[in-house]
Structure 1
Amino acid sequence: MAFQLRREEVVGSDQFGEMLEDSPAKAAQALLMAAGQGVVEAQALLGQILLDGRGIEQDAALARRWFGIAAQQGSLMAHNMLGRCLEHGWGGASDLPQAALHYRQAANGGLDWGLYNLANLLATGRGVAADHGVALACYRRAADMGHAKSMNLLGRYLEEGRHCPQDLPAARDWYRRSAEGGDFRGQFSHAATLAGQGLLDQALVWLQRALEGGNANFLRVAGPALEQAAQPEVRALAGAYRARLAELG
């Protein structure tokens, strides 16, 4: 079973991070010991490696328990990851209202990932009443903290003028910053802006980067969008997007 995890969402200790790079099995043993001794960062990171099956047998239910333990001790990262387990049904039943509560705890503590994940629920009305105003504020706050995915979504709000005044220069700037920050959706948005400005060579570079980093959900939408592009060079990339989607299954 594959989990869509982002390592930066939970890693809070450079020491443990280095251990995981050098020897996942040894790191897992160290994390088990530290987590049992009440080290909150170790508890949260243990939850992640249990989800990943990295250096330890994969066990989503146990991962969820460790996130819960660390969250009870105030770990913002654990609140965020417990929210993800609850949102996606990892290690137990899905519970969107409870996921929103844990995202809110992380967001209230100033965690960029918590702000982003809470905003996603607010923007779509999943588990909470839809509230684009608050969602936009969360995306903006996370974007100001350097969160690349939030930058792209903030750019979308500004481009479309939804629940805020339209500001195309600001939208283009947020797309650029998101792309440079490594978000594949931001790279796609930035590429669309560049293509619209006639900067086709630069647009193709960013479309290729988005292709290389994008997940299946993104590719499934982006490929058909490329087929509708005005520029033949852009349309030609649609086939590569379809092929990559097929590779990912």
Structure 2
Amino acid sequence: MLGNYSEAMEIWLPLAENGDCEAQAWVGSLYANGDGVDVNSKIAFEWYLKSAEGGNPQAQANIGALYAMGQGVQKDMVYAVKWMRRAARNGDPNAQFNMAVFYAKGDGVKQSLIKAAEWYRKCAENGHYPSQGRLGHMYYVGEGVKKDRIEAYLWLSLAGQHGIGSALIELEKVVGEMSSDEKSAAMQLVDIWRSRGNDNSSPKVFSPIPS
């Protein structure tokens, strides 16, 4: 496998040096993970930054994550939020998830469960199942949104089918509190969701911010 990564570096590095944003992100990833090269967070940050400035959403999310953790650069939550928000607005699901985490914890931003729920929903609607689990929990307990067992059932069901254990546990509680009419409405909502083909996404590989 090491040889394969070394070969990948030989392919990507010249492209990255010539300004290819995707190649720059790949080179950053190789250095961040120590694939084919020694781990070097500083060099990883430099390549991710080049790619991020060129408009690559995943690189923007990675830059935000590195600023948040202080890896390869001094920790700075102002820049972490700046880059993460940019990536989130450009549609990166992990960035949307991390923006929700920032708002839920008040990390780098003023705490707001309402905004956290909004970001979780954006991500959940794109099939990101950790966000589906978080959103389902918020609907169940009424954090940042109005308490709604039907919505809770929908999102916890979608997260649970991907093996999110906490979602399955909470789903049992929701079902135990639902009326027969609520259960029927909730199951119909799940069927509608699946019929639209929305449930086909998964988190990308590099999302290093602890949740």
TM-score range, shorter chain: 0.7 to 0.9
Q: Hey, what's the Cα distance between the residues in 2 that align with 1:142 and 1:22?
A: 36
Q: Hey, what's the Cα distance between the residues in 1 that align with 2:91 and 2:45?
A: 22
Q: Which residue of 2 aligns with 1:93?
A: 74
Tell me: CA distance 1:65–1:171, structure 2 relative to 1, closer, same or farther (3 Å). Answer: same
Normalising by structure 2, we get a TM-score of 0.77
Aligned partner of 2:139: which letter?
L
SS of equivalent to 2:165:
helix
Q: Which residue of 1 aligns with 2:117?
A: 136
Query: Is contact 1:172–1:190 with CA below 8 Å preserved after alignment?
Result: no
Q: Which residue of 1 aligns with 2:168?
A: 190
Query: Is contact 2:157–2:171 with CA below 8 Å preserved after alignment?
Result: no
Q: Which residue of 2 aligns with 1:77?
A: 58
Percent identity between matched residues is 26
Aligned length: 178
Q: Which residue of 2 aligns with 1:102?
A: 83
Aligned partner of 2:20: which letter?
V
1:189-221 deviations in Å (ceiling 9; x for gaps): 2134337868xxxxxxxxxxxxxxxxxx89xxx
Cα deviation, residue 137, structure 1: 0.7
Aligned ranges 1:8-47 → 2 under 5 Å: 23-47=4-28
Q: Which residue of 2 aligns with 1:163?
A: 144
Q: Which residue of 1 aligns with 2:29?
A: 48
Aligned ranges 1:183-222 → 2 under 5 Å: 186-194=164-172
Query: Is contact 1:180–1:187 with CA below 8 Å preserved after alignment?
Result: no
Cα deviation, residue 140, structure 1: 0.2
Answer yes or no: is 1:124 the counterpart of 2:105.
yes
Q: Hey, what's the Cα distance between the residues in 2 that align with 1:179 and 1:34?
A: 41
Unaligned residue ranges in structure 2 (runs of 5+): 177-209
Aligned partner of 2:54: which letter?
Q
Tell me: CA distance 1:196–1:154, structure 2 relative to 1, closer, same or farther (3 Å). Answer: closer
Query: Is contact 2:58–2:87 with CA below 8 Å preserved after alignment?
Result: yes
1:84-139 deviations in Å (ceiling 9; x for gaps): 10111111211112101101101111221111111111111111111221211111
Cα deviation, residue 165, structure 1: 1.4
Q: Hey, what's the Cα distance between the residues in 2 that align with 1:26 and 1:180?
A: 38
Answer yes or no: is 1:151 the counterpart of 2:132.
yes
Relative contact order, higher structure (CA 8 A, sep 6+):
2
Deviates more, 1:171-180 or 1:130-139: 171-180
Tell me: CA distance 1:196–1:148, structure 2 relative to 1, closer, same or farther (3 Å). Answer: closer
Normalising by structure 1, we get a TM-score of 0.66
